[in-house]
Amino acid sequence: TKVLVQVREMGSSSSKNNNNKKEISVAQPNSDIFIKIVFLGYMDSGQQAIVHRFCDDIEPKENIDFKIKIITVKGRTVRLQIYCPYGVGSIGSLCLRASGVFVCYDVSKRETYNMMDDRFGEMTKRTSPRPNEVCLQVLGIKRDADSKTVVDSSDGQQYAKRIEEYYKCPEVVFSEVTTTDYESVHTLVMQMVATILKKEHNMDLD
């Protein structure tokens, strides 16, 4: 899916102890469509790198709570608000009114895969949205092309299938992506955006 990306950003950054928090903002245009996407995962699963790569095409230099990216799709302005909680705040609250959720783990760290139930479980405590009401995707993250894989793709596929069956979701997609590859990261996020636009706004991007 090809979109025209507008250079408009607003984000919140946080240190590990959250004592050095700051906000950077610029004036935002009025948006036709607002989409909230959340990356859930155990601390240091790679989701921070994914958000930085998608929004700025850079390596992460600081931890963030969220980023905003404005894109134009078929003449309509779409405001993407992308949350990436770094061990702070209530995950359940952050997922409130989300349209899409990536459940993430690092393919080189088995413990991040084992912790997915805890992170996803925090989301399911909320009454809105329910897992079967959002666009859900299980994401295996590779730090680089040479990352040692200790969590097989079949494990990620099985987890996606388990969520799909247990929560009666329409479909839970499984993907793997390398954080250093901008095109792959961009395609990953935009595929979810396209699904959300079609589902919630009757926009077909094909």
pLDDT digits (tens, 9 = 90+) for 128-161: 678 888 999 999 999 887 778 999 999 999 999 9
Average pLDDT over residues 169-184: 94
CB burial class (10 A; 0-12, 13-18, 19+) of residue 36? Answer: buried
Of the candidates 136, 127, 52, 55, the residue with the CA atom closest to the CA atom of residue 100: 136
Residue 85 has pLDDT above 80, yes or no: no
- HEC string of the chain? CCCEEEEEEEEEEECCCCCCCEEECCCCCCCCEEEEEEEEECCCCCHHHHHHHHHHCCCCCCEEEEEEEEEEECCEEEEEEEECCCCCCCHHHHCCCCCEEEEEEECCCHHHHHCHHHHHHHHHCCCCCCHHHCEEEEEEEECCCCCCCCCCHHHHHHHHHHHHHHCCCCCEEEEEEECCCHHHHHHHHHHHHHHHHHHHHCCCCC
pLDDT at 4: 40
How, if at all, do strands 100-106 and 33-41 pair?
parallel
At 87-106, the pLDDT tens digits run: 545 676 778 889 999 999 99
pLDDT at 17: 42
At 4-50, the pLDDT tens digits run: 433 344 455 554 444 433 333 333 445 689 999 999 988 879 999 99
pLDDT at 27: 36
pLDDT at 29: 47
> Residue 165 — pLDDT band, cuts 50, 70, 90?
very high
Residue 70 has pLDDT above 90, yes or no: yes
At 55-66, the pLDDT tens digits run: 999 988 788 889
Contact status, residue 104 vs residue 113, Cβ threshold 8 Å? no
pLDDT at 20: 39
Q: Is the pTM of this model over 0.75?
A: yes
Residue 114 has pLDDT above 80, yes or no: yes
And the tokens for 20?
Answer: 């050095």
CA distance 99 to 44: 23
Count Cβ neighbours within 10 Å for each residue of 184-204 and write b for 16 or more, e otherwise: ebbebbbbbbbbbbeeeeebe
